[in-house]
Amino acid sequence: MPMPTRACQRALTVPITRPSSDAAILPRMPSMDPTAEQARAHAASAGGVAAAPEPDPSLCGALLESRQRWRDFATLAADLVFETDAAGRFTFVAPEAPLGWSAEALLDRPGRELLAVPEPDPFLLRGAARGLRAWLRRADGGSACLSLSLVPLQDAAGRFVGLRGSGRDITAEVAEAEAQAAALRRAEALQSLIGRVRREVLAPRMLTATLEALQGALGCAGAAVVEWPRGDGPVAIHQQGGDPVPLLAGFSQCLGCGGPAFLAGPGGEHLAVVPQQSQATTHCDQPQALLAWRDAGQRGFDADERHMLAALSDFLFVVLGNQALQHRLEGQARTDALTGLLNRRAFLEDLGRRLRRQAQDPLRAGRAEGALLFLDLDNFKPINDRLGHEAGDAALVAVAGLLRDLIRPTDMAARLGGDEFALWLEAADAEGAAGRAAAVCAAAARLDHRLGKDTPPITFSIGGAIRRPGTAETPEALLARADAAMYDAKRGGRDAWVLATPDGPPRRLAS
């Protein structure tokens, strides 16, 4: 194929965004005057210098068609095609409206004016690049991420005269990749946090570990579980880090029932409140919510952190539910199902801890502090035999209520089994134990209004034992002494009390 003439080459380099007439891009056609043609032929044969031959119109048309083809290929494959001069100004732009801008309006403008982010600046490059990411401004005020491929342009002397480049809009791909990366980060963070919590066996430690992990993962000043008791304002029932109380003043109960809320605290703190979605999850009748906060001046919670808060709150409320269930099971294991008092095992365990603490305390070890009263109901068997077990159960519940009324918060009451009960009187001496035993016997007369009219009157036989000073007496040994004193009271006629002497056999002191 013959080489294109200079006129055709010039026509191929005209920027497609600049308006031009056919006369500007098409070569001049050869003259049809035969005289002129003969003159030029004669000059050539005579050795003179003849004018350059006129270009072949068909060749110019083919070149223009080829130019249009490659222009179409470039604009179909890219969202921006451009050339710049040595100063970075656009000298060629395609397609007609790249990123919403008019191509004509971009000509002669510096490329850096399109940058939405200063770095990297592709228009400062002097070498080739491929896959270079740059954020450019859209005409509507938004921004787009373009993957650019660039090559430098040089003149005949090898000097840099500009850049030629193309770019593909990958904004949607970047957003999708960032969303996937964020989801992966959240999943990894949650997996790490949950793995840490699962290493804890007991529910209270799991709850503490969850709040610690949340505080560390989000860089919070603190985290807490907030509860709205019926008719009262919010209270923090579990907390980690800073004190949440000053932040609760502006809370309303609706925050414990609705969706997540992100608020400003009274001092400008950033608050995140994520309520439980189901109260059945925590086995709790009051609304609860997870509270996390950052101090004033710190940044708020971004989208990733809000997702993590929501996911961790679900896990947290499961832990709270497990803790409530564990407390309920522990309570059932420690209490008598009928009366709600401590059962025999729990009473002896708690009494053993108290006796050990007293024995280890040098100020209390030598003093006789603490008394055990062993109570047995008189005439209980006739109630069961004549009125049935329901009446017997009602009598036991009535006795439990009476004992609760007669003890202090530091004392303990238990049903040891059947119609046998026990009281531990903290720090009581012989005189105090005798006074309390007498009060119990006297109170038996008040049981009548709690029982049915046909129920025989209930009285007590009580045996008491005072802790031996200077010894590490076991709960079982102390209970055995009180039990022996109780049988002494039974043998003495019932409706009486007897205290065992510290170092001898039971001795009837009063009735």
Query: Are 390 and 481 in the same domain?
Result: yes
**Same domain membership, residue 293 and residue 147:** no
- The distance between the two most distant Cα atoms of the chain, rounded to a whole number of Å, is 163
**Whole-angstrom Cα distance, residue 307 to residue 481?**
63
SS (H, E, C) 220-280: CCEEEEEECCCCCCCEEEEEEECCCHHHCCCCCHHHHCCCCEEEECCCCCEEEEEECCCHH
**Which pLDDT belongs to residue 191?**
76
Whole-prediction pTM:
0.47
Do residues 186 and 311 touch, judged by C-beta distance below 8 A?
Answer: yes
Distance (Å, whole) CA 14 – CA 25: 8
pLDDT in tens, 55-91: 777 788 787 777 777 777 777 778 999 999 999 999 9
pLDDT computed for residue 19 by the predictor: 37
SS (H, E, C) 381-425: HHHHHHHCHHHHHHHHHHHHHHHHHHCCCCCEEEEEECCEEEEEE
Residue 487 lies in a domain: yes
Domain with residue 38: its CATH number is: 3.30.450.20
Tokens of residue 215, six digits: 């505080």
Is residue 66 in some structural domain? yes
Number of folded domains that form the chain = 3
Angle between helices 171-198 and 303-334 (to 10 degrees): 20
Q: Does residue 337 form part of some domain?
A: no
> What is the amino acid identity at position 402?
L
User: How buried is 50 (Cβ within 10 angstroms: 0-12 exposed, 13-18 middle, 19+ buried)?
Assistant: middle
- Looking at the structure, do residues 201 and 299 belong to the same domain, yes or no? yes
For residues 19 and 164, state if they share a domain.
yes
Q: Are the CB atoms for 308 and 292 separated by under 8 Å?
A: no
At residue 369, φ and ψ (nearest 5 deg) are -110, 125
C-alpha span between 481 and 78 (Å, rounded): 98
Is the CB of residue 240 less than 8 Å from the CB of residue 219? no
pLDDT, position 396: 94
Select from 274, 300, 330 the last residue of a domain: 330
Are 401 and 322 members of one domain? Answer: no
What's the rounded Cα separation, in Å, for the pair 148 and 14?
A: 23
Q: Is residue 1 part of a domain?
A: no
Per residue in 43-61, pLDDT (tens digit) is 555 555 555 667 777 788 7
Distance, C-alpha 502 to centroid of its chain: 59
Residue 443: its pLDDT value, please? 92
Specify the CATH number for the domain of residue 224: 3.30.450.40
| 376 and 475 both lie in a single domain | yes
**Strand pairing partners for 115?**
136
The pLDDT value given to residue 262:
86
Q: Which element (helix H / strand E) includes 100?
A: none
- Whether residues 474 and 392 fall in one domain: yes
Q: Strand 459-466 vs strand 496-500: parallel, antiparallel, or unpaired?
A: parallel
What residues in the chain have per-residue pLDDT under 70?
A: 1-53, 197, 200-204, 231, 250-258, 277-285, 363-368, 452, 502-511
Peptide bond into 98 cis (omega under 30): no
In a domain, 338, yes or no: no
147 and 278 housed in the same domain: no
Instruction: Look up tokens 């002397």; give the residue.
Output: 157
Task: Tell me if 335 is assigned to some domain.
Answer: no
Q: Provide the H-helix boundaries in 107-202.
A: 171-198
Which of these three, 330, 357, 376, is where a domain ends?
330
Q: Domain check: are 493 and 432 in the same one?
A: yes
Q: What is the pLDDT of residue 426?
A: 92
Same domain as 364, residue 325: no
Instruction: For residue 260, count other CB atoms closer than 10 A to its CB.
Output: 16
At which of 110, 141, 169 does a domain end?
Answer: 169
Distance separating the N- and C-terminal Cα atoms of the chain:
135
Range of the domain at 124: 6-169
pLDDT of residue 335: 92
Residues 443 and 487 grouped into a single domain: yes
Are 185 and 162 in a shared domain? no
Give, to the nearest 10 degrees, the angle between helix 303-334 and helix 344-360. Answer: 100
Instruction: Please give the pLDDT value at position 2.
Output: 42
Q: What pLDDT is stored for residue 238 in this prediction?
A: 84
- DSSP SS3 for 113: helix
CATH number of the domain within which 349 lies: 3.30.70.270
